[in-house]
Chain A
Amino acid sequence: MNIVAYSEDPEYIKVASSYFSNEKIVAVSTSDTKYADELHLIDKMDEEAIAKYLASLKPDLLITGSTKRDKVIGAYAAGLLKYPILPDVIDISGNKAKRVVYSGMGIAELEFNTPIVVSISKKNVEAKERQTQKKNVNLEEGKVKKIEVKQKGGEGVDLSSAQIIVSVGRGIGSKENIKFADELARAIGGALGGSRPITADLGWLPEDRQIGLSGLKVKPKVYFALGISGQPQHLAGIKDTKIIVAVNTDKNAPIVENADYIVVGDVIKFCQEMVKKVGKK
């Protein structure tokens, strides 16, 4: 079987390698990897051009990562090849794959045949390093031209691997109040995140802090949901958290049904009190 793995993030190539440890894997990436037999190092991040290159390799199985760009590239390639596609697969065994559906409320089991394109979710895996033959590939440019790229704020904290996350929702009240959550995050060594309204709609936090269905999926040991009502799209991003603590004045908010510990009360007071206690120890 001709397996091609593409991702801008080499962690996904490692996961792909772990699913197919006895098969030859050709990786295509802008980054180096030790988890493929062949690596095609590409010279530019042009989604259409990468998709066309992947399609030209005529894979039986094309595996991509699940970054926003990875998925778009995999889907474009699948469309070009007229292959079926399974996005955000959390597990593959034989010709069966599992993925999360209905905003995190269901798991679908699907049966597939090759050829196919699959985008896989990140997980911690063991994989053996391979002898990787490398070659450089110069891609042609696609029809969409980049005019400007702006990096967004944020302090480069990687929310997707944080062990403690303090996350704020509309219930925090104002942009100024976010500093209380930030102080709490610093005091307990956690990362600060937010719901979609706070990040994408109101802009109280940079958009790269957005947790949920259309933002980041996180899996910390403990997640503090401060003033977050708990819409399904948000819950979909925190499903794999070990312990969820919700702080909310409304004890009927949907988050209450989806949390381990619920402090019914004022979010700001909670932050201040937590900082005192955790700072004291």
Chain B
Amino acid sequence: MNVVALFKIVPDDTLIKVTGSTLDLNVPAKISTYDKSAIEEAIRIKEKHGGKAIGVTAGNTDRKAIREALAMGLDEVIAIDMKEQDIYSTASMIADQLKQLNPDLVIGSEATTDSSGGIFPAYLAGLLGLPLISYVKSITIEGKKIRAERNLISSTEIVESELPLVISVVGEINTPRIPTVKQILESSKKPVKSVNANVKPLVKLASVSPYVIQRKKIIIDGSKMEEAVDKLLSYLRQEGVIS
């Protein structure tokens, strides 16, 4: 069983700050939050069913983040360096690599923390002509058969299909492991294949500006809660948001 985990390296969203009219993205890079769950699930499947777990990333190819993915337990990472990317160009580049790997299962996550479109695995599945199971919160694999529980907002679904296919996982599918020091040291011996992008994006990013809604930040001391609530209610009535 060969499994591919898709992950993206993004600016750490807890460190991004707005300074004046610009968004400061010059912050440390990290593996996008839910993508770690995709990596974790690929490693678990490999541990249970044997075979290989290979990571594929495109965009920023920050070595420290790639080493973290390898230290978690991926056997190899294919790093596609892309300065400019959109979903079309990223999926085209990744699809090229997947055609060579011919995996049984491709795992992505529900959304990344940078563009948060939540559509990449579905796009890739369409491009490859493979079936897709999205928003997966648990899976079991027997032979060529996969059974998955999907988490939609107002319902859950249990579905079945056959490998090969693409799935997107939600964060609650697992708790990503934290590599040990030994694993981190050993990760430097694992192969990283660098690929240069040769597909141009079709959508052009014209600008990114901060999306700031100025909040009033009025602090009310709640040590005497009755007074605090009176104060808050008078503010909220002034605002006209409660009667």
A143 within 8 A of B: yes
A120 within 8 A of B: no
Partner-contacting stretch, out of A30-38, A127-135, A171-179, A230-238? A230-238
Question: Is A147 a contact partner of B162 (Cβ separation < 8 A)?
Answer: no
Question: Is B229 a contact partner of A274 (Cβ separation < 8 A)?
Answer: yes
B217 within 8 A of A: yes
Question: With A102-B23, A247-B222 given, is the CB distance from A150 to B155 under 8 Å?
Answer: yes
Contact with B along A52-93 (1 / 0, CB 8 A): 000100000000000111011111111111111111100000
> Would you give the shortest CB distance from B162 to chain A, in whole angstroms?
7
Question: With A84-B202, A208-B153 given, is the CB distance from A78 to B123 under 8 Å?
Answer: yes
Question: Is A79 a contact partner of B13 (Cβ separation < 8 A)?
Answer: no
CA distance A47 to B125 in the complex (A): 12
A109 within 8 A of B: yes
Question: Is B162 a contact partner of A85 (Cβ separation < 8 A)?
Answer: no
Of the residues A82, A107, A258, contact of B209 by C-beta under 8 Å: A107
Q: Which residue of A lies closest to B148 (CB)?
A: A144
Q: Tell me the interface secondary structure of chain A in the complex.
A: mixed
A-side contacts of B222, CB under 8 Å: 247, 263-266, 269-270
- Tell me the residues in window 96-125 of chain A with beta carbons closer than 8 Å to chain B beta carbons: 96, 99-113, 116, 119
Contact with B along A157-186 (1 / 0, CB 8 A): 000000010000000000000000000000
Q: Which residue of A lies closest to B122 (CB)?
A: A75
- Tell me the residues in window 202-243 of chain B with beta carbons closer than 8 Å to chain A beta carbons: 202-213, 215-223, 225-226, 228-230, 232-233, 235-236, 239, 241-242
CA distance A249 to B207 in the complex (A): 38
Question: With A79-B125, A108-B205, A196-B171 given, is the CB distance from A48 to B225 under 8 Å?
Answer: no
A44 within 8 A of B: no
Q: Which residue of A lies closest to B119 (CB)?
A: A75
A261 within 8 A of B: yes
Partner-contacting stretch, out of B47-55, B67-75, B130-138? B130-138
Question: With A75-B119, A251-B219 given, is the CB distance from A277 to B233 under 8 Å?
Answer: yes
> Would you give the shortest CB distance from A100 to chain B, in whole angstroms?
6
CA distance A251 to B233 in the complex (A): 20
Question: Is B155 a contact partner of A106 (Cβ separation < 8 A)?
Answer: no
CA distance A51 to B158 in the complex (A): 20
A215 within 8 A of B: yes
B111 within 8 A of A: yes
A-side contacts of B157, CB under 8 Å: 146-150
Question: Is A233 a contact partner of B113 (Cβ separation < 8 A)?
Answer: yes
Question: With A145-B161, A214-B170 given, is the CB distance from A75 to B208 under 8 Å?
Answer: no
CA distance A257 to B17 in the complex (A): 12
Question: Is B241 a contact partner of A222 (Cβ separation < 8 A)?
Answer: yes
Taking each of A68, A116, A150, A244, which has the highest tally of chain B beta carbons within 10 Å of its own beta carbon? Answer: A68
Question: With A76-B123, A76-B125 given, is the CB distance from A87 to B118 under 8 Å?
Answer: yes
Question: Is B203 a contact partner of A112 (Cβ separation < 8 A)?
Answer: yes
CA distance A78 to B220 in the complex (A): 50
Question: Is A111 a contact partner of B126 (Cβ separation < 8 A)?
Answer: no
A137 within 8 A of B: no
Question: Is B160 a contact partner of A145 (Cβ separation < 8 A)?
Answer: yes
B11 within 8 A of A: yes
Taking each of B127, B128, B154, B210, which has the highest tally of chain A beta carbons within 10 Å of its own beta carbon? Answer: B154
Taking each of A83, A164, A262, A277, which has the highest tally of chain B beta carbons within 10 Å of its own beta carbon? Answer: A262
CA distance A81 to B157 in the complex (A): 27
Question: With A47-B132, A214-B170, A233-B33 given, is the CB distance from A150 to B156 under 8 Å?
Answer: yes
Question: Is A144 a contact partner of B131 (Cβ separation < 8 A)?
Answer: yes
Question: Is B229 a contact partner of A277 (Cβ separation < 8 A)?
Answer: yes
A-side contacts of B170, CB under 8 Å: 200, 214
Contact with A along B129-168 (1 / 0, CB 8 A): 1011111000000000001000111111111111001000
Of the residues A48, A74, A245, contact of B236 by C-beta under 8 Å: A245
> Would you give the shortest CB distance from A146 to chain B, in whole angstroms?
5
Instruction: Given contact pairs A78-B87, A154-B154, enumerate 5 new A-B contacts (beta carbons under 8 Å).
Output: A68-B152, A84-B88, A215-B153, A233-B33, A274-B233
Shortest Cβ-Cβ A-B pairs, 8 listed:
A265-B222, A79-B126, A87-B117, A75-B119, A75-B122, A84-B202, A79-B127, A76-B126
- What are 7 A-B contacts defined by CB distance under 8 Å? A79-B123, A87-B115, A106-B208, A116-B203, A200-B151, A239-B211, A242-B239
Binding site for B on A (CB under 8 A): 47-48, 51, 55, 67-69, 71-88, 96, 99-113, 116, 119, 142-152, 154, 164, 188, 196, 200-201, 207-208, 210, 213-216, 221-222, 231-233, 236, 239, 242-245, 247, 251, 256-266, 269-270, 273-274, 277-278
